A = this chain, B = another copy of it.
Amino acid sequence: MSAFEKLVSHSQKIAHFNHLAAICGWDQASMMPSGGNQARSEAMAELSVHVHSLHTQPQLADWFAEAEQESLSHDQTASLRELKRQWQQANLLPEKLVQAKSLAGSKCEHAWRTQRKENDWQGFEKNWAAVVALSQEEAQIRAEANNTTPYDAMLDIYEPGTTSASLDATFNDVKSWLPNLIDQVIDKQSKENVIEPTGQFATEKQKALGLEVMKLLQFDFEHGRLDESVHPFCGGVPSDVRITTRYDENEFVQSLMGIVHETGHARYEQGLPKSLAGTPAGEARSMGIHESQSLFFEMQVGRSDAFISHLASLAGKHFNNANPELFSQHNFQKLYTRVKKDFIRVDADELTYPAHVILRYEIERDLINGNIKHTDVPELWNVKMQQYLGLSTEGNYKNGCMQDIHWTDGAFGYFPSYTLGAMYAAQYMAVMKNTVDVDGAIRSGDLSPIFTWLSDNIWSKGSLLTTDELVKQATGETLNAAHFKQHLINRYLKG
């Protein structure tokens, strides 16, 4: 067995344990009764210690050194690059720091669940200080290893290859036109009339509707399923993808589009190259590329006129078309494109969402680079919220800097992925339309040509290409946010 083969085999072994973690994690969120949590958490922690020990076995260094001397194919070289990247990430941090950050994050997050409700910044800030300090320590170690700034080293965890220099350029451009566009759209929409769903929309009916929409999106039910959880997610493994949603019986709008979103994540996972299963090269490219798939499904396909027409008629069918005006295509279009300046990112619409992300990006970048203190965050949040969305969060911590879970755990560097995903999705669609009759395919109910394009260009590539290579091969250029801007103008101003 060559050293490269040994590395692949070792990676597959780790993947087997990660498989069990993924299924037990899904179960914990969607099936497990609350009394099972203590023993489950202990079992998961034991597994995670074991996986860490596999990642840090001493012979791996020799195998990597040998493998780099071996004669490898093009794909094997890419696979080795990803194997090495994963190994380096796993070995970079002293175990003491990993444990300290995990403990501080758990403590901060646990208390945050109460503190947020009580708008208790003083209490939160005390726990969060440790999370920020440990994250800065982590970023410093990563920065030295990567020879970058601390924040860029954190970005690299989620978006390998992306730098704050490139994000600054992209996001500064967005900031130059987005606030004005939002105002124009809100003004335009103020003259429109939307019928909101009222009444009782039984969970069973919502689920049946969701499953039918997943079929339309060609979710592979031989390799996955739909369940419920408090926070919707896409989990499991590529051969068995588990997506979840939550149902609110007072309305169906959120959950329905949530299912479309998670189906995008799921089809990416289901479409990853099977020949590379169990190795990092066979995994999704990055968080941003993952989000580009969920947002392609949700924003590019899901909110298109042609797809909205399917959603309206399917919803009408499942809810016995109690109110024909509510279930009209025209009303559905309006329901799914309403724009509102508001405080909460997770509830934000497509147009205001980037403002929420840019705000967080700018703050976390300066925080991790040590240019601001964690106690500066509420005031900075307030200033930027006024600037981008005209809203004050003074004294309103729970709807300000305490609203998200990410920072409580020290997941700095993750937020940009959301908007990068939206931008990539718009770019794919602009290019896809050159060769695929997208609207025709959606209208016909057979969306295969769209999925073939995504499979050929994104899903089947796994992580064999870098993000820039992947996007350039698919669209002829690296990230170009002009497509996103044009998409927003077309949908919200011209539409």
Contacts and interface: CB of A to CB of B under 8 A. Distances in A.
Interface of A: 13, 16-17, 19-21, 23-24, 27, 31-36, 38-40, 42-47, 50, 220-225, 236-240, 277
Contacts of A40: 19, 23, 239-240
Contact of A16 (B43, B221, B222): B43
- Residue from A44, A50, A240 whose CB has the most chain B CB atoms within 10 Å: A240
B33 A19 contact: no
Contact of A13 (B16, B32, B46): B46
Q: Please tell me how many copies of the chain the complex holds.
A: 2
Contacts of A225: 31, 33
B13 A20 contact: no
A222 B23 contact: no
B239 A34 contact: no
Contact of A23 (B19, B27, B46, B220): B27
A24 B20 contact: yes
18 contacts: A16-B42, A17-B43, A20-B44, A20-B47, A23-B27, A23-B40, A31-B225, A33-B221, A35-B223, A35-B239, A36-B223, A36-B224, A36-B237, A36-B240, A38-B239, A39-B237, A40-B240, A50-B50
A125 B490 CA distance: 71
Given A16-B46, A46-B13, A239-B38, A223 B24 contact: no
A396 B201 CA distance: 55
A220 B20 CA distance: 26
**In the A-B complex, the 5 residue pairs with the closest CB atoms:** A36-B240, A16-B46, A35-B222, A19-B43, A35-B223
A223 B38 CA distance: 11
